[in-house]
A = this chain, B = another copy of it.
Amino acid sequence: MKRESRLVRWIWWTVVVTALFLLGFCIGWFAKRSKVPANNHKTSSKYLLEFLDEMRSDLIRDHLRKFTRLPHLAGTEQNLKYAEEIMKEWQDFGLDSVELVPYDILLSYPNKSQPNYISVVDHNGKEVFNTSLAEPVPHGYEDVGNIVPPYSAYSPKGHPEGDLVYVNYGRTEDFFQLEREMNISVTGKIVIVRYGKIFRGNKVKNAMSAGAKGVIMFSDPADYWAAGVKPYPDGWNLPGGGAQRGNVLNLNGAGDPLTPGYPAKEYTYRLNPEEGVGLPKIPVHPIGFHDAIHLLKNMGGQIPPNNWKGALNVSYKTGPGFTEDFKSQKVRMNIYSNNQVTRIYNVIGKIRGALEPDRYVILGGHRDAWVFGGIDPMSGAAVVHETVRGAGRLLKKGWRPRRTVIFASWDAEEFGLLGSTEWAEDNARLLQERAVAYINADSAIEGMYTLRVDCTPSLHTLVYDLTKQISSPEEGEEGVSLYESWHKRDNWTNDRDAPRISKLGSGSDFEAYFIRLGIAAGRARYTKNKKTERYSSYPVYHSVYETFEIVEKFYDPTFRRLRAVAQVRGGLIFLLADSQVLPLNANEYADSLRKYADSIARLAQTHTELMETHNVSFESLFSAVENFTNAAKGFHERLQTLNIEDPLQVRIINDQLMYLERAFIDPLGLPGRPFYRHVIFAPSSHNKYAGESFPGIYDALFDIENSADPEKAWREVKRQISIAAFTVHAAAMTLTPPA
């Protein structure tokens, strides 16, 4: 019995011990989590809301006020000072590192002792009228020095004199109309065109191709006046003495004209100045409409067709001097600007990623301004500044994003996207392997109506998801999301019931990242109502009237619109940097590819017979799009079953998402544009601002009915269709299981 009892006790003991051990073992086993990323969706979304809440209108106002007091043109001391201040403040906000990154690039300035102007000269060569040398300075800024007068950056020096020919907006089609329908040649003449519709560099290129010996550009009220709005300072319209500065390069993404393809470091080889990429060969100058009227009167008999008549045409058409009277008078341009290699400074700030420091999410926007930059770019720079401050606050609360975030204050954007392009060239290897996305932050506001987003298709759903979590900044829309507010104002007609999102064009710093390197990119700003407000960009664009006050008085008195833009830009960065699985959507890319393929095929169908003659078919492209669509669908289905506990599996899937955009890059580039390498998107060859889809095919088809060698021209169309089809197939491959 005793023995038995002992045995029982012993058994009991054993059972208890074993049970306890097992209990401990199990708890120990499960208590130890597999290495799962620290920030999963839940903590992220908590921090996201904190981050969005952190952005303050009053501080955005303060940032804008602070950085718009003085002119800060690229390459000037003041722009370096602002760079240093921004660096200092980003450090204080709590970024892990901030540095100034200099490059020595070709800039262009007017000659301080010999101002640029345009004259009307009589038959004795006497100047009977001269355009103004500067814009009337707005109230409160009378004592400010270093306001650069309106000029066309990179215009060569020169004094061409001749008849003036008006060519509307100076678009390709305008020159075609002039030459083919009106039978007017501009060879040896000076061309005058109105600003608007297309990038000014394209106007100059067209004029050069047509043989002009000079280009004058003016702001026509038809394009730079909103109805019922007074000129600044009483309203936000462009005064008659205001004119648009701007570069007139045709860089096609080359960056610094003297160091195409490579960063402009001290040791870098530089082309001879005359070999520089994209430099105009004829003098160019911009004027306001008060001056323009005088020149237009001197047009020597050219009667503009009705569809060319802007607001100014009315005046000169009815004015006393139009047609024959001034025929014997000519126009003379007097341009003394200089190109010079100058040091610029990007500010680069970083938050090191907690788990994937080698994955980069970039928020970049420029700092340099033509004068004060009240809208362009400081409304955007103020937003970035507030985003950095907000991110710094989160860091102090213990948050750290999964991936590295890079903030950039670019220099010399106004001179051809130079600061951002040089940095992209400098860091091309790192960006190519490691960049997840680039969000651009130029002007945050160009109107008072609603949100505007241009981005790569894979970002569509993220933009929608995010804007549903942001409040509308509009008066009387409390409780309404930004998404709803935007949707109501700008629905994507026909295609889908959602707010419209457009393709990226160019004309801002995302270009090298998106079009050259193939990094998913997007931009967001507040905009006008395109249906009712037909003027280009915004009236005071690139004039001295872009002040702090124009934003505070007219565009965003409560600074809530800018705050909403900060939340969109910042929220995108946040989610791209911190989501465990990258919030990129390949199905959206498939849908867009289908749309673009339909559209380019439809364009080609205007030549049905020729297509048959030359045996041109879009079948291979449609078949590739089909293949891509299936691959994307399969990818997202597999994503549903992803084991998010397995860090390598997550990384592999994320790499597929990250490299999807890269897959559309063709290292050989587009014909004649080696730095535009994205097969799906490029700036239009006829307007840098606009995005063209399947640009290779589009350009091959352009004006093909007038081709001198149709056989060769149609062969090029076939070649481009083949390249597009291959590229879409290749991108599809990246979405299939990796082995």
Q: Which A residues form the contact surface with B (CB < 8 A)?
A: 17, 20-29, 31-32, 34-35, 96, 261-263, 265, 267-269, 350, 352-353, 355-358, 360, 404, 426-430, 433-434, 619-620, 623, 646-648, 651-652, 655-656, 659, 662-663, 667-668, 674, 677, 715, 718-719, 721-723, 725-726, 730-731, 733-734, 737-739
Bound form: Cα–Cα A496–B267 in Å: 33
A20-B24, A428-B730 known; A652-B269 Cβ under 8 A: no
How far in angstroms is the closest Cβ of chain B from A694?
Answer: 15
8 of the cross-chain contacts (CB-CB < 8 Å) are A28-B31, A29-B31, A29-B32, A35-B35, A269-B718, A430-B733, A648-B648, A648-B651
Is B32 within 8 A of A652, CB to CB? no
Bound form: Cα–Cα A358–B27 in Å: 35
Q: Tell me which residues across on chain B come within 8 A of A731, comparing CB atoms.
A: 429
Is A648 within 8 A of B31, CB to CB? no
A24-B28, A674-B668 known; A646-B726 Cβ under 8 A: no
Q: Tell me which residues across on chain B come within 8 A of A646, comparing CB atoms.
A: 35
Other-chain residue from B20, B428, B620, B663 in contact with A20 (beta carbon distance below 8 A): B20
Bound form: Cα–Cα A656–B429 in Å: 11
How far in angstroms is the closest Cβ of chain B from A411?
Answer: 20
How far in angstroms is the closest Cβ of chain B from A538?
Answer: 37
Nearest residue in B to A624 (C-beta to C-beta)?
B267
Is B734 within 8 A of A430, CB to CB? yes
A20-B21, A35-B647, A648-B651 known; A659-B28 Cβ under 8 A: no
Q: Tell me which residues across on chain B come within 8 A of A429, comparing CB atoms.
A: 659, 662-663, 730-731, 733-734
Bound form: Cα–Cα A426–B726 in Å: 8
A24-B21, A24-B24, A262-B722 known; A356-B648 Cβ under 8 A: yes
Bound form: Cα–Cα A29–B34 in Å: 11
Is B739 within 8 A of A350, CB to CB? yes
Bound form: Cα–Cα A26–B434 in Å: 39
Is B261 within 8 A of A668, CB to CB? yes
Bound form: Cα–Cα A737–B97 in Å: 13
Q: Tell me which residues across on chain B come within 8 A of A22, comparing CB atoms.
A: 24
Nearest residue in B to A717 (C-beta to C-beta)?
B269
Bound form: Cα–Cα A652–B353 in Å: 12
Bound form: Cα–Cα A636–B263 in Å: 28
Q: Tell me which residues across on chain B come within 8 A of A428, comparing CB atoms.
A: 667, 730
